[in-house]
Amino acid sequence: MSLPSLHIGGLTAKVPIIQGGMAVRISMAKLAAAVANEGGIGLIAASGIKPPELIENIQAARKMSDGIIGINVMVAVREFANLVQAAIKEGIDLIVAGAGFSRDAFKWCAEAKAPFVPIISEERGAKMAERLGASAVILEGKEAGGHLGTGKRGLESTWDVLPRIIGAVSVPVIAAGGILVGKDIAKALDMGASGVQIGSRFAVSDESNAAIEWKQACVDAKPEDVVLVESPVGMPARALSNEFAKRIEDMNSEKVKTRCVRCLKECKKNYCIIDALEKARQGDLKNGLIFCGERIGEIKEILPVKEIFKRLIKEYELAENPVITYG
Ligand SMILES: Cc1cc2nc3c(=O)[nH]c(=O)nc-3n(C[C@H](O)[C@H](O)[C@H](O)COP(=O)(O)O)c2cc1C
């Protein structure tokens, strides 16, 4: 059986794979376009950048691909409204929003006829999103990299929450968190998901905008190196254990001397998240924070997006059509 296509609003992606938006500046034009060129949906990460840089990236991605290009932006960032409005003006194909809930964004996207896809972590959020007009929802479980939403039951596995979300809403449900190989895609689709969102595997691709040191740290990581840290956003976040992640444990604002640009609507100010993510992205692994998913230890190579798709599709087909051997 070959992979089914993914329908969100009026869009059809040939391959039901969304490349997760990854801030700061990890999933930009080149990665989003490469994913879109393979028939998936490429997302440019808008959190932590200003509208002109976002517009530049949308235009660059459009030059590289005729496929589906969207943006991902965290509701928690102060520039949220400006970034969404800028993307809409550029005629973006869809908008994915995480780390919070914005009723306004549903309205703006409905007016612009741009599909709006919130990231949720439990049934209540999924139902509310559907009621407000979401074109699909992305269910992110505890295995995911980056900020994690916490439902009533605390952090839960993608595989435990997924059936409950599918039962709660009738819009397409995309599974995210811990999707690494084609077998995981087969499992999610067999459970009733319409598609998957993958972050970590694409973060460690040739086209990812992270420094080679960042990618190599991920390739060298062992499963036990993945930790949960407290983010100034007020949510737990999944990251790689490094010197900075260890320092977060006993950090207070006096120890952190970064210039505050008030990038978040609300910030706990225990450290600057944008600065920490950007430093790591540029290769300063001592003073930066590396967001990554729980299964990063299983990624052993930095590959081009084309090859990642080839392998995912082959693995999916193998999972759905196991070879029968006799004797
Ligand atoms: C480096 C990194 C940065 C991320 N940044 C964001 C972000 O800016 N916004 C967001 O909604 N999700 C973000 N995520 C989550 C991904 O979009 C995706 O949902 C998640 O990584 C899926 O889990 P996986 O890594 O196991 O595939 C990030 C994840 C990683 C690894």
Tell me what the mean pLDDT of segment 9-38 comes to.
98
- Model pLDDT for residues 251-285, shown as the tens digit of each residue: 654 455 567 888 888 898 889 999 999 999 999 99
- Model pLDDT for residues 73-121, shown as the tens digit of each residue: 999 999 999 999 999 999 999 999 997 888 999 999 999 999 999 999 9
Task: State the Cα angle at 117 between 114 and 120, rounded to 5°.
Answer: 165
Give the Å distance between the CA of 21 and the centre of ligand 1. Answer: 6
Cβ burial of 315 (10 Å; 0-12, 13-18, 19+) is: middle
Atom of ligand 1 lying closest to residue 99 CA: 11
> Using alpha carbons only, how large is the chain's radius of gyration in Å?
18
- Model pLDDT for residues 284-314, shown as the tens digit of each residue: 999 999 999 999 999 999 999 999 999 999 9
Q: What is the spatial distance between Cα 18 and Cα 25, in angstroms, rounded to a whole number?
A: 17
Q: Which of 114, 90, 84 is nearest to 102 (CA)?
A: 84
Pocket flag, ligand 1, residue 115 (CB < 6 Å) = no
Pocket flag, ligand 1, residue 208 (CB < 6 Å) = no
Q: Which of 2, 1, 54 is nearest to 23 (CA)?
A: 54
Pocket flag, ligand 1, residue 143 (CB < 6 Å) = yes
- Ligand 1 pocket: which of 17, 18, 19, 22 to mutate (most atoms <8 Å of CB)? 22
Task: State the Cα angle at 158 between 8 and 276, rounded to 5°.
Answer: 90
Minimum CA distance residue for ligand 1 atom 7 = 22
> What's the chain's average pLDDT?
94
Tokens of 306: 């084309």
Domains of the chain: 6-208+299-320 (3.20.20.70), 212-296 (no CATH)
**Amino acid (one-letter) located at 5:** S
Atom of ligand 1 lying closest to residue 21 CA: 17
Cβ burial of 129 (10 Å; 0-12, 13-18, 19+) is: buried
pTM of the shown model: 0.96
The percentage of the chain sitting over the pLDDT mark of 70, rounded to a whole number, equals 96
- Model pLDDT for residues 237-251, shown as the tens digit of each residue: 999 999 999 998 766
The three-class DSSP label of residue 99 is: coil
Give the Å distance between the CA of 238 and the centre of ligand 1. Answer: 9
Q: Which string of b and e fits 239-268 if b means at least 16 CB within 10 Å?
A: bbebebbebbeeeeeeebeeeeeebbeebe
